[in-house]
Amino acid sequence: MPSEELTAQIGQLKQLLQTSRHALAFTGAGISTLSGIRDFRGRNGVYLQPWRGHSVEEILSLRCFMAQPELFYAWAKEFIYRLEEFHPSVVHTALAELERQGILKGIYTQNIDMLHQRAGSRRVKEVHGSASMHHCLRCGRESSYAEIAPRVMADEVPHCVCGGLVKPDIVFYGENLNEELLEEAFAEMQRTDLLIVAGSSLTVHPAADLPLEAVRYGAKLVIVNDQPTALDRYAALRFRDLAEVFSQL
Ligand SMILES: [Zn+2]
């Protein structure tokens, strides 16, 4: 895109944000790639690369977790529990700033990396959960990220005082999304008048159905993603370069 055209379109995006009543963001793995967390579904992402002979889809499946929790925790030691080594990207930072200004009303994210909260965003809905909280599969006792992370980093498979296996509140493959959260999400998508999709190719359902719901109820859709998405034809504005757009907001 020629730079004047891009500048004009970014101007339009700013205008849309300023005049919106209830702007929301919907984010995916692409925005965390900028932070050094590899995009699960990107071309060079770990998603496509077996890790110790297992696909990430397998490692993140409930069946595999129950059978071999040590496999998940060894993988997660590398990708989830060393959060201090990853820093929010310009996208996380810009979205946090828009919320601080009262323009952005909330973020729905497919990411499990907690980087929005680290960037200072307050109203973050994690549709695939995260490791910010854990539960014992036997007694239901809760443990925080801060309690569990050092144990995982010490190569421990965390167990509860009752002896039960501890599982992060991530929605694994084979598990359903949190119904209450999903219901709330669909209701809010019907109310939003501006939805910015950032770093998601909108292929993982049912989470990816949320932007379509917003479109159905008349919201303006803005998509920022380096790959084509399923909803490109509905976008009022369509950008490719995340860093370029969000560094100018
Ligand atoms: Zn327990």
User: Both 124 and 210 in a single domain?
Assistant: yes
Assess whether 191 and 227 both reside in one domain: yes
CATH number, domain with residue 62 = 3.30.1600.10
Q: Are residues 27 and 94 in the same domain?
A: yes
Distance 166 CA to ligand 1 centre (A): 8
- Which pLDDT score, from 0 to 100, does residue 41 have? 40
Pairwise CA distance, residues 92 & 109, whole Å: 11
- Residue-level pLDDT at 83: 79
Which tokens hold the place of 213? Answer: 């719901």
Q: Tell me, what DSSP letter sits at residue 37?
A: P
How far CA 243 is from CA of 30, 98, 115, 169, 171, in Å, comes to 11, 16, 16, 30, 28
The Cα–Cα gap between 176 and 167 comes to: 15
Catalytic residues: 128
One domain, residues 186 and 146: no
Looking at residue 160, what is its pLDDT? Answer: 98
CATH number for the domain spanning 228: value is 3.40.50.1220
Give the Å distance between the CA of 162 and the centre of ligand 1. 4
**Residue 67, both tokens:** 């059978």
Boundary of a domain, candidates 170, 189, 221 = 170
Cis amide linkage into residue 158, ω under 30° from 0: no
Does 244 share its domain with 219? yes
pLDDT tens-digit series, residues 21-72: 999 999 998 887 766 555 444 433 444 467 888 988 899 999 999 999 999 9
Tell me how far the alpha carbon of residue 69 lies from the centroid of ligand 1, in angstroms. Answer: 16
Domain hosting residue 210, numbered range: 1-37+87-128+177-249
pLDDT single digits (tens) 166-200: 999 999 999 999 999 999 999 999 999 999 999 99
